[in-house]
Structures are given as C-alpha cells and as structure tokens.
C-alpha cells in the first residue's frame, strides 16, 4: 500500500509543482543525465560491425544502471521514492507547453508556429492555424501516454526501478531509435523495447480519454484509426483525443522538407480548428490525470 501511495503523492506533486527552473538550472535533470548516457554510448559504441548486437548490449547495460539507481533511491524511504517519481512524471510541464501553443496562437499564427516548434519534430514554417492546432493536440495525447501513464504504470509494476527503466528506454528510443543509416541497427533494440513497454500504457491512456466523454461507436473508431499511425502505440491516445474533442487529427505533414500523405484520424471530425480546441485538449489532460490519480488511490485502498 505504501508503494502505491508513493505514486499517488508523486502524481500530485508533479501536477502541483512541475519542473521548477530554479532547481534544474543548477543541477541536471535525471532525464538530461539519461540523455547524456545514451549520447555517450552512441558516440563511443555505434561503429563497426555487429552494431545491432552492440546496441542491444548497450541498452541492457543502461537498463541495469537504471535498475540499480532506482533500487538505491527507493531504499531511502517512500518519501524519497515519491519525490524521485514526481521528478520523472511530466503532467504539469506537458500541460504548460501545450497551453503555451494555445496562448501563442491566439496572438498570431507566427507566434503559434514558434510555440508548437518547441514540442514537435515536424516542419512548422508552412503550417496554417489548423495544422498548428493538430500538432499541439497530437503532442498532448501522445505525451500524456509517454510522460504520465507509462511511467506511472511501470512504477506500479516494479516500483521506482521500473519507472527509471522505462524512462531510460524511452530516452534511448527518442535519441537513437530511428530508421536511418546511422541508427537503424544500433537503435533497433531501443525502438523495439520502447514499443513493448508502451503497449499497455498507450491503450490504457486511450481508454481513459475515451471514458471521459464516450461517443456512440467511439471505441470502434479509436481502434480503427489507431492503426493509421506509424507507431504501434502513439495512434491510440491520439485517436482517443480526436474522438473526445470531435476533431480530425494527423493528415499530411512535413518532415525535413518532405511531405507525408498520412490519413486523417477521425476524418469526420472538425478540420478547421485552433486555439479553442487546444484548450479543450488541455482540459482533457487534466481530467484524464484526475482519473489516473483516482485509479492509483483506489488500488492503494484495495491492496
């Protein structure tokens, strides 16, 4: 029960405080340290023959380090464990970044483009207002799964070591899990394991978002459209958010100057969207967070 209550405290602390700049300007955030470790491994080990095996062994080593550190911190008591878990959750920072896009877009399209460029990897210079809104809402949905539900889920399963392992794998995937000549082999293990670790959380996130405002046939549409995403997991919370808000998401977008012809998710939803719909997504994020917190408290009570 104490283990689960630590997660409830962590969720509440993260939502209340977020990531204070006063602290993280002075000391590196754990996610930054993980990124440095992955970057060091990439520079030193991503060369020569057998890079797929080297990448897998490297990832295994990083996972062992994450487990040991998590176990050591957890041994200091549940309060320290809760504080550490709060640092690794991202509800408040996610909400703030998405809300910043809505506020900027309310000022001008140029401001909206600049704000959304800070949270997405696609080209933003040619975006119109609906494209800015879609990008922000998609980021909100996907990062709710990756930044809140997934780390909380793995904390419930394996405690702080489980959460740290998830964050390490997710960081590695974001840095080296690409189908490029440089990382196709070395980052394959990170990409595949990240898919595995996000399988349940992505679908759980979609279910939570769907149950906030269930639509007739909504779950069937979510299941149908989730498969349109290139990721086996990201499409689930994005499709759920689209159905919840009654908007169309995804569709054609540009990466590194190349347009993709991706299909729209929930194509019957509104296409002409803007800051109001981004604000709607922010409201969904908070309600979904509340459901997640309630579930954790319920688990603590029954266990």
171-194: average pLDDT:
94
What pLDDT, in 10s, does the model give residues 96-150? 999 999 999 999 999 999 999 999 988 888 899 999 999 999 999 999 999 999 9
Q: Decide which of 67 and 257 is more confident.
A: 67
Mean pLDDT score, 223-229: 92
Residue 48 predicted with pLDDT over 80: yes
Mean pLDDT of the chain: 94
Per-residue pLDDT averaged across 156-185, rounded?
Answer: 95
Q: Which three-class secondary structure state does DSSP give residue 160?
A: helix
Interatomic CA distance for residues 162 and 152, integer angstroms: 9
Is the pLDDT score of 78 beyond 90? yes
Q: How confident is the model at residue 246 (pLDDT cuts 50, 70, 90)?
A: very high
- Judge whether residue 175 has pLDDT over 90: yes
251-299 tens-digit pLDDT: 888 887 788 888 899 999 999 999 999 999 999 999 999 999 999 999 9
Domain of residue 179: give its range: 2-302
Residue 5: its pLDDT value, please?
92
pTM of the model: 0.95
* Model confidence band, residue 165 (pLDDT cutoffs 50, 70, 90): very high
Count up the domains in the chain and report the number. 1
Give the per-residue pLDDT at 257.
79
Strands 264-265 and 249-250: antiparallel
Q: What is the pLDDT of residue 24?
A: 80
Q: Decide if 208 contacts 200 (C-beta within 8 A).
A: no
Please say if the pLDDT value at position 2 is more than 80: no
The predicted model gives 35-50 an average pLDDT of: 94
Q: pLDDT band at 161, cuts 50/70/90? A: very high
User: What span, in angstroms and rounded, lies between the C-alpha atoms of 151 and 103?
Assistant: 28
pLDDT in the model for residue 16: 95
Site of tokens 């392992």? 165
Angstrom distance (rounded) from CA 122 to CA 302? 44
Neighbours of 281 (CB within 10 A): 29
């Amino acid at each position: 029960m104490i283990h689960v209550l630590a997660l409830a405290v962590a969720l509440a602390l993260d939502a209340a405080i977020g990531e204070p700049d006063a602290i993280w300007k002075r000391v590196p955030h754990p996610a930054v340290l993980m990124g440095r470790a992955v970057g060091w491994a990439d520079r030193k080990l991503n060369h020569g023959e057998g890079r797929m095996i080297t990448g897998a062994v490297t990832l295994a080593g990083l996972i062992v380090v994450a487990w040991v550190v998590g176990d050591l911190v957890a041994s200091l008591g549940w309060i320290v464990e809760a504080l550490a878990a709060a640092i690794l959750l991202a509800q408040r920072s996610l909400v703030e970044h998405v809300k910043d896009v809505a506020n900027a877009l309310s000022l001008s399209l140029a401001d909206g483009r600049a704000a959304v460029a800070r949270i997405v990897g696609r080209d933003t210079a040619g975006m119109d207002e609906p494209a800015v809104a879609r990008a922000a809402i998609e980021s909100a949905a996907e990062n709710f799964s990756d930044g809140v539900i997934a780390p909380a889920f793995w904390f419930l399963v394996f405690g702080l070591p489980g959460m740290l392992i998830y964050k390490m794998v997710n960081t590695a995937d974001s840095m080296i899990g690409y189908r490029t000549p440089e990382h196709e082999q070395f980052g394959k293990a990170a990409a595949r394991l990240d898919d595995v670790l996000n399988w349940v959380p992505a679908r759980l996130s979609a279910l939570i978002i769907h149950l906030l405002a269930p639509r007739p046939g909504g779950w069937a549409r979510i299941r149908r459209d989730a498969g349109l995403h290139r990721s086996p997991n990201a499409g689930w919370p994005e499709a759920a958010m689209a159905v919840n808000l009654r908007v169309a998401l995804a569709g054609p977008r540009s990466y590194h100057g190349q347009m993709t012809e991706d299909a729209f998710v929930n194509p019957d939803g509104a296409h002409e969207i803007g800051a109001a719909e981004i604000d709607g997504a922010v409201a969904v994020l908070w309600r979904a967070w509340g459901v997640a917190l309630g579930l954790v408290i319920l688990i603590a009570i029954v266990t």
